[in-house]
Amino acid sequence: MALESTPSNAALAPRWVRGLVIYSGVALVITALHRYVSGLDAHVALLAPLAAEFATEQFAIIASHSVSEFIHRIGGSLLVVLGLLQFSAKLRTRRPRFHRWSGRVYAALAIIAALSGIYMSVLFPFGGLTETVPSVLFGVGLVAVTVAGIVTARRRNFEAHGEWMMRSFAIVVGPFVIRVVYPVLLFGLGMDARPAVGVSFWLGWVISLGIAELLIARRRAQRRGQVGPETPASA
C-alpha cells in the first residue's frame, strides 16, 4: 500500500494463511451485502440460527440508523476488497500506480469504518459496556496503525509499512473471527447472548492481531536469516 513507490514484492504470508484471509474477507463481504440484496427479514433469518437474540433484536436497531449502517456495511465491504488487493505481490509489481491509489482509498475507508464502528458501539451496543470498550479500543487502534502505515510508506520504509498494514488489515478482518467465536461461546460454552458479545469482540480481535504479529515475527526472522554478518539490513 505504498504511497510513493512500490514496496517489497515478497509474499507477506504463507500460502495457506493467504487462502484463509481471502476466505475470511469474502465471507465478510457476502454477509454484509446480503442485508441489502435480500432485505432485512431475510438477513435476520439467515443469521438467526447462529445468533438468534442478536439477529432479531439488534439488526432492527441497526437498520433504524440507516446512514451509519450503510457506511459501515458498504464502506467496510469495499475496504475488505481493497485490503485483499493490497497484499497481492503481483499487483504491487505490475500495477504500482493502482497499488498506490487504492492504498490511499483503503486508508480513508479504514478510518471511516473505525469511526462508524465506534459510533454504533457507543450509541446502541447489544452487549453494553463489554462491547463498547473493545470496539472503541480496536477502532482507535485501526486508525493508529493505518496512519503509521501511511507515514512509513511516505518515508519509503516499506518493510515497516507492510507490517503496519498487516496489523491494519488484521483489525479489518477481525469481525470475521468474532462471528466464528460468538456461536462457540453461545452453544459450546453456554454463555448468555449479551456477555458473549463482549467476550467474542475481545477474542476475535486479539486472535486476529495475534496471527498478524506471528507473521510479522516470521518475516523478520526470515530477513535476519538472509542478511549475512557483513551485510547491513536494508530498510
- φ/ψ of residue 212, rounded to 5: -60, -45
Q: What is the pLDDT of residues 122-158, one digit of tens each?
A: 999 998 999 999 999 999 999 999 999 999 999 999 8
Q: What percent of the chain has pLDDT over 90?
A: 50
Q: How far apart are CA 110 and CA 113, in angstroms?
A: 5
Q: 432479531: which residue's cell?
A: 56
The predicted-structure confidence for 65-82, as pLDDT tens digits, reads as follows 889 889 999 999 999 999
39-58: b or e for each residue (b if 16 or more CB lie within 10 Å)?
eeeebbeebeeebeebbeeb
Helices (H) and strands (E) in the chain, counts: 12, 0
Of the pLDDT bands very low, low, confident and very high (cuts 50, 70, 90), residue 171 is very high
26: left (phi over 0), alpha (psi -120 to 50) or beta: alpha
- The helix/strand/coil state of 222 is helix
- Per-residue confidence band for 14, with pLDDT thresholds at 50, 70 and 90: low
Checking if the pLDDT of 195 tops 50, the result is: yes
pLDDT at 36 over 80: yes
Of residues 55, 53, 76, 50, the one with CA closest to residue 175: 76
Q: What is the pLDDT of residues 221-230, one digit of tens each?
A: 887 776 555 4
pTM exceeds 0.85: no
**pLDDT (average), residues 193-215:** 94
> In which residue are the cell numbers 497481492 written?
88
201 CB-side CA count, 13 A: 24
Closest alpha carbon to 82 in 168, 14, 153, 190 = 168
Sign of CA dihedral 111, 115, 116, 120: positive
pLDDT at 203 over 90: yes
Q: Give the Cα separation of 41 and 224 in Å (integer).
A: 54
Res 99: pLDDT? 84
Tell me the C-alpha distance between 204 and 200, whole Å. Answer: 6
Q: 84 is written with which cell numbers?
A: 485483499
Across 28-55, average pLDDT: 88
